[in-house]
Amino acid sequence: MRDLLQRLRRRHEFWLASVIVALCVALTLATDSFFTLRNLVDLLTSNAFIGILCAGLIVVLVAGGIDISFTATATVAQYLALSAANAWGATWLTLFLMACGIGVCLGAINAFFIVKFRVHSIIVSIATLNIFYGLLIYATSGRYIYALPDWFSYGIYWFETEIDGWPYGVNLQMLLLGLAFLSTWVLLNRTNVGRQIYAMGGNPDAARRMGFPVVRLQVFVYGYMGFMAGVASLAQAQFAQSVAPTILVGKELDVLAAVVLGGASLLGGVGTVLGTFLGLTLLALLQNGLVLVGVSSYWGQCVTGAVILISVSATALEAGRQRRLRRSAA
């Protein structure tokens, strides 16, 4: 038992989960509205866009890269796919094929520059963010799309039940958020490709010498990020009931914050899907909790920043302590 606790204490996820549990207990005691099905549904629905992108970004970070361009990718995918659906009609399947296809293509462009010209991913993705976004707004003059296909506006509502007069069900955002995290978990923990991505992120030279297809892995990783950007863009458009080409770009650092709060390293090879989910949950609960206890929403970002700073400082201090312990033991 003591051993188990000792091992748990060293896990980043353990600390995150403890904070989340403490926060949940406090909020449940402090407010009537926190521990309700309604609030849970709202939380999942409104954080789906950021969450699905987190599920993509963790793969890129584990692979040792970084991507900033996914908000622009999502904007382009959303705009083109729903424009096409308006013009020629579409079904759920073809709509998702279009959005995700566009996402994969734009991700492949990132991978092309990274692999072919050996430019670092942060430079490439800052550049492509500006290129994708700039060209889209130039071509469309930044016009919003308000008229969406009826079946899309209506969305989906599975397992509908009524509790206390409110209809509840699994909506599109919850479904996509769940699928995104499930597929990333399977990819990173249960497939050969996932193990290779961890290996490549941990030591790219060693991975190359072991004979891993590094180029193909890079294309896959950025393509996967693009795919998730496509999925996230449709979840967001359905939630907002419109396509607004200027509001998604600028949220990329929110996604990055959630993923690194979850313990992913920017040096590659380190990071878990559980940690990412907990990081996302913590940031979402903070925002939600502050509103529920009546703190003005103007202070939300300040608290988020303080939590990120405290968390990364504590992690760094703990890592330093572990290093010193190991050195004195050796």
Partner 1 sequence: MTVARVRIGVNGGLALLLLALAATFSLLIGERFYAASTLRSMAFQLPELGILSLAMMVTLLKGGLNLSIVATANLSGLTMAWCLTTLVPGSEGVMWGVWQGVSLLAGFAVAALIGLMNGYVIAYLGVSPILATLGSMSLVKGLAIGLTRGDVISGFPEPIVFIGNGVVAGVPVGLAVFLGCAIPVALWLSRTPTGAAIYMIGSNERATRYSGVDTRRVMLKVYVVSSLLCAVAAVVMMARFNSANASYGESYLLVTILAAVLGGVDPFGGVGKVAGLALALVILQVISSAFNLLGLSQFLTLAIWGAILIGATAVAVRGRRGG
Shortest distance, CB of residue 135 to partner 1, whole angstroms? 5
Binding residues for partner 1, rule CB under 8 A, total: 47
Which listed range, 7-15, 18-26, 95-103, 123-131, lies at the site for partner 1 (CB under 8 A)? Answer: 123-131
**Residues 1-20 close enough to bind partner 1 by CB under 8 A:** none
DSSP annotation string for 98-119: HHHHHHHHHHHHHHHHHHHS--
User: CA quadruple 30, 35, 41, 47: dihedral positive or negative?
Assistant: positive
**Rounded distance between C-alpha atoms, residue 52 and residue 255, angstroms:** 9
* 40 versus 270: smaller Cβ distance to partner 1: 270
Question: Per the structure block, which two tokens stand in for 211?
Answer: 């004979």
Shortest distance, CB of residue 274 to partner 1, whole angstroms? 19
Name the burial class of residue 126, with classes exposed (0-12), middle (13-18) and buried (19+) by CB atoms within 10 angstroms of its CB.
Answer: middle
Does 84 participate in binding partner 1 (rule CB under 8 A)?
no
Which listed range, 89-97, 187-195, 198-206, 248-256, lies at the site for partner 1 (CB under 8 A)? Answer: 248-256
* 141 versus 161: smaller Cβ distance to partner 1: 141
Q: Which residues contact 303 (CB under 8 A, 6 or more apart)?
A: 286, 290, 295
- Of 102, 41, 87, the closest CA to residue 232 belongs to 102
**Residues 130-149 close enough to bind partner 1 by CB under 8 A:** 130-131, 133-135, 137-138, 141-142
Does 89 participate in binding partner 1 (rule CB under 8 A)?
no
Does 124 participate in binding partner 1 (rule CB under 8 A)?
yes
* 176 versus 260: smaller Cβ distance to partner 1: 260
Which of residues 95, 235, 257, 273 is near partner 1 by CB under 8 A? 257
For the chain, the first-to-last Cα distance in angstroms comes to: 26
- Backbone phi, psi, residue 103, to 5°: -60, -45
* 19 versus 148: smaller Cβ distance to partner 1: 19
Q: Which residue's entry shows tokens 């759920």?
A: 92
Helix (H) or strand (E) segment spanning residue 170: strand 166-171
* 113 versus 212: smaller Cβ distance to partner 1: 113
Residues in the chain: 330
**Residues 278-317 close enough to bind partner 1 by CB under 8 A:** 296, 298-306, 308-309, 312-313, 315-317
CA 188 vs CA 182, 198, 322: distances in Å: 10, 8, 27
**Rounded distance between C-alpha atoms, residue 46 and residue 59, angstroms:** 23
Does 243 participate in binding partner 1 (rule CB under 8 A)?
no
* 189 versus 301: smaller Cβ distance to partner 1: 301
Which listed range, 128-136, 168-176, 182-190, 269-277, lies at the site for partner 1 (CB under 8 A)? Answer: 128-136
User: CA quadruple 217, 218, 221, 227: dihedral positive or negative?
Assistant: negative
CA 174 to chain centre: 14
* 21 versus 314: smaller Cβ distance to partner 1: 314
* 127 versus 193: smaller Cβ distance to partner 1: 127
Q: Which residues bind partner 1 (CB under 8 A)?
A: 68, 113, 117-120, 122-124, 126-131, 133-135, 137-138, 141-142, 250, 253, 256-257, 260, 266, 296, 298-306, 308-309, 312-313, 315-317, 319-320
